[in-house]
Amino acid sequence: MTIVVKDGPPKSARLLWRVVVGTAGLDPSRPSRPLSWHLASCANPVSPEAHCEEGRRMITTMADPDGHCLVNGECPRCAQQATQELQS
């Protein structure tokens, strides 16, 4: 008897991430450096133009777009969140 275990297709494409450690305007009174999360394919982590509307808003409010980077003019992170909301 043979048992074959197969992984099903992934529900959504895994996104590759990279973390960017802020170096500009380091404030010594702050306990930690600001970290921001971008997609590995983010065109320009320091440019708001390389991020979707949500990403730009998050950059403004907390200096972290949380992966909302534009890839070929689209934001895979928004698409992923939309998919997750559909499933829940």
The footprint of Zn ion (CB under 5 A) covers 52, 54, 68, 75, 77-78
Report the residue count for the chain. Answer: 88
DSSP class of residue 43 equals S
Residue 43 sits at the vertex; the CA angle it makes with 37 and 49, to the nearest 5 degrees, is 85
Nearer to Zn ion, 34 or 57 (CB): 57
Closest approach, Cβ 57 to Zn ion, in A, equals 10
Closest approach, Cβ 60 to Zn ion, in A, equals 14
The three-class DSSP label of residue 19 is: strand
Nearer to Zn ion, 38 or 68 (CB): 68
Nearer to Zn ion, 12 or 54 (CB): 54
Angle between helix 53-62 and helix 76-87 axes, rounded to 10 deg: 100
Closest approach, Cβ 64 to Zn ion, in A, equals 13
